[in-house]
């Protein structure tokens, strides 16, 4: 199927100029936006509560808890706004990767595993401390090559539909794709509770769904491809507020 046919069949009334980058909350319906801001009704707060308990809990290895090293979880203010980052050993880590590294190296405990409730909970609880703060990731120095890889991924046509990320999230921002409004494709609300999933999920789960949607290769959770793309998306979101834990349709 030619691209023109895909666009004509799926994308309806225009609403925003090409290439406009907007905060994810601006694409939510008024009801969903209100739900995202209401901790008493946001279902993702169940994971936040569990994450805060895990922060205080001593692991079975009897090594210090997260709180034993870092103090109260309030000390994580601003951390999520700076991720992904390049670690001292040259590895690109997102927030989930940093938590897993602390878990295995500092607590000498088994990794939680991507998409586990434990990792989603801790990530959501930490990310909450940066809610409303502007995204500001390092893109120079050792991060520069990862940024270039992420941009290349974003701009490369993929899958049987032969679509690049930017063809939706730059050229058709604000238009409708079936029942959804095409957003700027930013990750500032993740981990997020997605109504379609009926649970909390990571940004990489959403990226895998996008890959599936264009009938392209789905890379593993935590893959170098998705990590580089995550950094590029964070750079695109520079200055916009962290929304995690978000609500998504």
Which residues are tagged catalytic? Answer: 210
Rounded (5°) CA angle 194-197-199: 70
Radius of gyration for the alpha carbons in the chain, expressed in angstroms and rounded? 18
Neighbours of 60 (CB within 10 A): 10
């Amino acid at each position: 199927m030619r691209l023109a046919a895909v666009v004509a069949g799926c994308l309806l009334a225009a609403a925003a100029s090409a290439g406009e980058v907007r905060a994810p909350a601006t694409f939510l319906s008024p009801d969903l936006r209100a739900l995202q801001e209401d901790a008493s009704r946001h279902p993702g707060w169940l994971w936040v509560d569990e994450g805060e308990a895990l922060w205080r809990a001593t692991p079975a290895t009897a090594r210090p808890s997260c709180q034993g090293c870092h103090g109260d979880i309030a000390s994580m203010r601003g951390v999520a706004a700076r991720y992904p980052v390049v670690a001292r050993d040259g590895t690109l880590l997102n927030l989930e990767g940093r938590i897993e590294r602390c878990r295995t190296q500092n607590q000498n405990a088994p990794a939680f595993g991507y998409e586990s409730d434990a990792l989603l909970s801790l990530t959501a609880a930490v990310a909450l401390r940066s809610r409303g703060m502007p995204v500001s990731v390092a893109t120079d120095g050792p991060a520069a090559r990862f940024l270039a890889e992420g941009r290349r991924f974003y701009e490369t046509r993929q899958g049987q539909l032969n679509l690049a990320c930017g063809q939706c999230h730059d050229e058709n921002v604000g238009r409708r794709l079936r029942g959804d409004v095409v957003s700027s494709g930013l990750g500032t609300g993740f981990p997020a509770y997605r109504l379609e999933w009926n649970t909390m999920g990571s940004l990489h789960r959403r990226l895998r769904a996008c890959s599936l949607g264009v009938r392209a290769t789905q890379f593993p959770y935590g893959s170098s491809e998705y990590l580089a793309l995550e950094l590029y998306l964070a750079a695109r979101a520079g200055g916009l507020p962290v929304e995690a834990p978000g609500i998504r349709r």
